[in-house]
Amino acid sequence: MTVRTPPQSGFHPDSSPVRLRLTGERKTGRRRGFLKQVHAACAALALAAFSVFAPVQAAPQPAVPIAASTPAAYVPLILFSIDGIRWDYLNRGVSPTLSALAAGGVRAERMLPSYPSITFPNHYTLVTGLYPDHHGIVANTFQDPAAPGGVFHMSSKDEAWWDEGTPLWVSAERQGLPTATEFWPGSESAIHGVRPSHWEPFNQGKRADQRVDSLLAWLDLPAERKPRFLSLYFDAVDTAGHFHGPDSEAVNTAVAATDTAIGHLIEGLKARGIAANLIVVSDHGMAAVAPDHTVWLDDVVDPAAVHVVFADAVSGVDIPETAAGHVAEAKLLAPHEHMTCWDKAKVPARLHYGTNPRVPDVVCMGEVGWLIETRAEQARRHFHLQGEHGYDNTAPEMGALFIANGPAFKAGTVIPPFPNVDVYPLMAKVLGVKAERNDGDLAGVRGALAGR
C-alpha cells in the first residue's frame, strides 16, 4: 500500500500543533503582548516507522519469571514504552513475548493515562510521577513567554521547559546510580543540570532491533559504568494507529514487530545472565476517528478573534483581551455537540489540569472519536487521522498497557486499573532511589511487588 507520508518534525508523530496566531492582547497577563504570528511545527505522523522493523515472526517466549535463577548482584530496572499500545491489544494474539511477560509477572487491567492523554505529557508523567499540570509539559506543543523561544515543540531541549519536574534518571544519578535512556521525552536535556550517564538523540529511523542493541551494549559496560535504570522507547504502534486506525491490520503488524524486538532484548538478557526487573507501559491508547467526525472551530468562533494553541482531540485556545475575543470565549464555553469547553480555572478536578500558566485560557475536550480542528489547519495537514488520542483519560479507548516482570514482582498477578502517576513511586521503590515530590501513591500498585 502506498501512503503519503507527511514531513517529520521533532520527537514523535503526535505533535498535532496548529498554526499560531494572536489578535490583540491575551487574557493571561504572563503572556500579554507575546505572540506575533508564530507557526508551530506540522504533525510528524511519519509512516516511516513501519519500515524500521524486521519482518514479523514469532517472538521467543521468556521463562516465567524471566531470570529467576540469575544472581541478583546486578538487577537493573528497564522501563519500556510502546507508544500508543492500548491495554486490550494484548488480547489480539500477535504479541507472544508481551503475553508471556504478563502471564509470568504482573499486568494491570488497564492503566489510566493523565490528561491530556497525549505523548509528551504522559511520558514525562511516567518518569516524574507528576500530573502534566504539575510538571509543566502540558501538551505536545504549547507556549511560555518566559522560556527560550516561547513555543515548546517536541524537539525543544532547553532545561527551562523541563525543570518543573525531576525525572527518575536525574534522582538516580544524583544518588550515585548510572542511568541510560534510549529515546525518552526530556532525556536530551540537562534537567536541573543532570543528564543520564548514557543517552542518544532521538532518531525515528533507528530500527527497533537497533534500539535494543544500544541498550544491550550499555549492559556490557564495565561494572562501574553499567546503568541501573534504563529506558527504551518504541513508536511504530502509535504511528500505525494514527494512519490506519486502532482496529487495522497495520496496528497488529506493528504490535507483532515491536513484540519481536522485545523478545530480542529478553534473549540478550538471558545470554548475559542478567535478572532484570522489567516494566512495560504505554502513554495512552487509541480511538478510531471517522472521516466526518470533526468539530470545526470555524463554525463556532471567528478564528481571527482567538489564538488556537493546539488542537485535535483536545484543543487549547487563548483569548485576547478584545471585544471580539470576549464574544468568542462566550461562544466556546456554550454547550456544543461532541465538544465540551471549560475556562481553564473550571476544568473538572478529576482531570488535574488547568492550574499551570502554560495551559491556554480555554480547554476543549472532544467526544471520543471526534476531532476539534480549524479548516485552515486541516488543509495544511493534507491527510485525515484514522486514529487519535488525547480524550478523557478515563475512556476505555484511552487505557494504557502496564506489565511488570522480574525478581521484584509477583508472578501471575492482575491488578485493578490505576493512574499512571503511580508508576514513578513503584520504580523508585524497586530501584531503591529516594523519590522526589510526586502525585503518585505506592499503595495503588503495592500489590504488584513480590513479598507484599
Q: Report the catalytic residues.
A: 119
Q: Packing angle between helix 249-272 and helix 236-244, nearest 10 degrees?
A: 180
Q: Report yes or no: 95 and 259 within 8 Å, Cβ to Cβ.
A: yes
| H-only helix segments in 42-129 | 96-103, 119-128
Task: List alpha helices for 248-338, DSSP H.
Answer: 249-272, 323-333
Number of neighbours of residue 249 by Cβ within 10 angstroms: 10
Q: Measured between alpha carbons, how far is 315 from 413 in angstroms, rounded to an integer?
A: 38
CA proximity to 241, closest of 290, 288, 184: 288
The whole-angstrom separation of Cα 363 and Cα 105 is: 39
DSSP 228: S
Virtual torsion, Cα 205, 207, 210, 216, nearest 10 deg: 110
Task: Give Cα 71 distance to the centre of its chain.
Answer: 34
List of E strands, 192-269: 198-200, 229-234
- 378, containing H or E segment: helix 375-381
Cell 525543544 locates to 156
Phi and psi torsions of 89, nearest 5°: -60, -25
